[in-house]
Amino acid sequence: MKVLAVLRNGAEPVPDVVIAGYGPAGAAAAIAAHDAGCHVLVLESTERGGGNTRYSGGFLFDLPDEAAVAHLDALCFGRTDRRVLEAYAAGLHELDGWLRSLGGTTAPFEPPPARLPAPFPSWPHLPAQAFVPGMGARGFGRIIFVVSDTIWAPPAADLLPYVTSKGALVALARTLAVAHGADGIAVTCVAPGLTATPAARAGMPAAAFEAVRARQALPRTLLPRDVAATVAFLASDGAAALTGQTLCTDGGLVMR
Ligand SMILES: Cc1cc2nc3c(=O)[nH]c(=O)nc-3n(C[C@H](O)[C@H](O)[C@H](O)COP(=O)(O)OP(=O)(O)OC[C@H]3O[C@@H](n4cnc5c(N)ncnc54)[C@H](O)[C@@H]3O)c2cc1C
């Protein structure tokens, strides 16, 4: 635990207010308490303050009251007292002026263009993006990500980075499907189960394959050609109406 800030009013060494956590809520409370005449001590468990705002998009939401209350109510699944939501929504209007009074700056939000540009600039290293302009020019394209059925049934905790990255690809496929559908580009995923590739065979005992096979609705060993056939289908005219979807080639281990 670090002392990240001491906001003094006078020489009194004992703080009137101790703030635990130097995220925006803690920082706002510390400033408000200081401005009300208190001696404030801010404690933070990490090296730097900022909390989650260091990763945030930097948007300051300030909607008309009715829209803000409806939005917040939906986010809270209708379980939060409407008076709390109304007070929160009213407070949103004060944030811009408060930040400016502290010396901060804010800028109006510029809505992005209705359709994302191609290539999508946030993913400069994604190989698929290199093909998007050509696909768009022809008015036809298929992008198919190979993911994994572990995103629905993670077999072990130590697969966290693997499973998480596969899940992110599914989200990416859906977003790209929305971005590029109007250019005739479909984006889909194939989610294999434990497939008997040479690398998987070399890295896992035969008993592990048997255990997974026994849990499949179709108890057959999954082969690379199962994935290849599904990829071929997704690239074919037969899949003309498919985009943003994930097809699972795991013999029915996971049913969604
Ligand atoms: C990717 C992302 C994008 C976002 N974009 C936006 C946006 O555009 N606009 C927007 O309004 N909001 C956005 N948010 C949400 C916003 O960042 C959070 O709502 C806000 O940071 C929450 O503030 P907080 O102070 O309550 O908590 P946090 O920011 O989580 O701060 C809590 C602090 O307490 C510290 N702490 C925790 N435990 C202890 C302990 N025991 N002792 C001492 N310190 C402790 C933590 O290290 C942290 O610094 C975004 C969030 C994320 C993750």
* Percentage of the chain exceeding pLDDT 90: 58
Quote the ligand 1 centre to 39 CA distance (angstroms).
Answer: 24
Q: How far is the CA of 56 from the centre of ligand 1 (A)?
A: 8
Mean pLDDT to the nearest integer, 131-158: 92
Q: Tell whether ligand 1 has an atom less than 6 A from the beta carbon of residue 77.
A: no
Spatial separation of the C-alpha atoms in residues 12 and 38, rounded to whole Å: 10
Instruction: Tell me if 145 CB under 6 Å of ligand 1.
Output: no
Q: Where are the extended beta strands (E) located within 33-153?
A: 40-44, 141-146
Q: Which residue has the higher pLDDT, 126 or 161?
A: 161
Q: Is 22 tagged catalytic?
A: no
- Say what the pTM is: 0.54
Spell out where 135-245 has E strands: 141-146, 185-192
For 82-133, what is each residue's pLDDT tens digit? 999 999 999 988 989 999 999 988 888 776 554 444 444 455 456 777 788 8
User: How far, in Å, CA of 172 to CA of 234, rounded?
Assistant: 17
Name the pLDDT band for 78 (thresholds 50, 70, 90).
confident
Tokens representing 19 are 């703030």
Residue 34: pLDDT over 90:
yes
- Cα of 20 vs centre of ligand 1, distance in Å, is 13
The per-residue pLDDT for range 165-217, each reduced to its tens digit, is 999 999 999 999 998 999 999 999 999 999 999 888 888 889 999 999 999 99
Confirm or reject: Cβ of 37 under 6 Å from ligand 1: no
Query: Which domains are delineated in the chain?
Result: 2-101 (no CATH), 127-249 (3.40.50.720)
106 lines ligand 1 (CB under 6 A): no
Ligand 1 touching residue 181 (CB < 6 A): no
Closest CA to 147 of 174, 109, 185, 125: 174
Instruction: Name the residue of 22, 56, 63, 95 to mutate for ligand 1: max ligand atoms within 8 A of Cβ.
Output: 56
pLDDT band at 54 (very low <50, low <70, confident <90, very high): confident
* Pairwise CA distance, residues 13 & 33, whole Å: 16
Quote the mean pLDDT of the chain: 87
CB 92 within 8 A of CB 63: yes
Nearest ligand 1 atom to the CA of 24 is 25
Percent of the chain with pLDDT over 70: 89
Confidence (pLDDT) at 151: 96
Over residues 147-171, mean pLDDT: 92
